Every structure is written in structure tokens, then in C-alpha cells.
Amino acid sequence: MEEGMFKVKSVDEAVSILLPQTPDKMRELMKLSFSKPTQRVPSCFLNDFIH
């Protein structure tokens, strides 16, 4: 993976981003997914979406 075009160094790191378990990881996924991500999303909404 280090020689490829991925920005992550391992599969575990990719899984932690693609399957978020915390609001912070969900925000990171949103930043990577959208060209203009939202600036502020309350953690309660992200927790509800995750669970």
C-alpha cells in the first residue's frame, strides 16, 4: 500500500476511516468524501448515524 496511490499506510487504517466508530472518525470520512464538507455537525447526529 505504501507504493500505491492510497493515503493510508495499512488496511486497518483504511477500515477505521471507512467504518467510523466515533464522531471524529465520521468527520474525517466526511472530509474525504465530499468536495465541500459541512463545517459543523453536532456529535449527537453523528452518533445516531453510526449506531
Domain parsing of the chain, residue ranges: 11-50
In this predicted structure, what is the pLDDT of residue 49?
85
The residue with cell 447526529 is 45
Whole-number pLDDT of residue 9:
80
| pLDDT for residue 14 | 85
**Angle 41-45-48 from CA coordinates, rounded to 5°:** 150
**C-alpha distances in angstroms, 16 versus 10, 51?**
10, 15
CB 41 within 8 A of CB 32: no
**What are 2-47's pLDDT values in tens digits?**
566 667 788 888 888 889 999 999 998 888 888 887 888 899 998 8
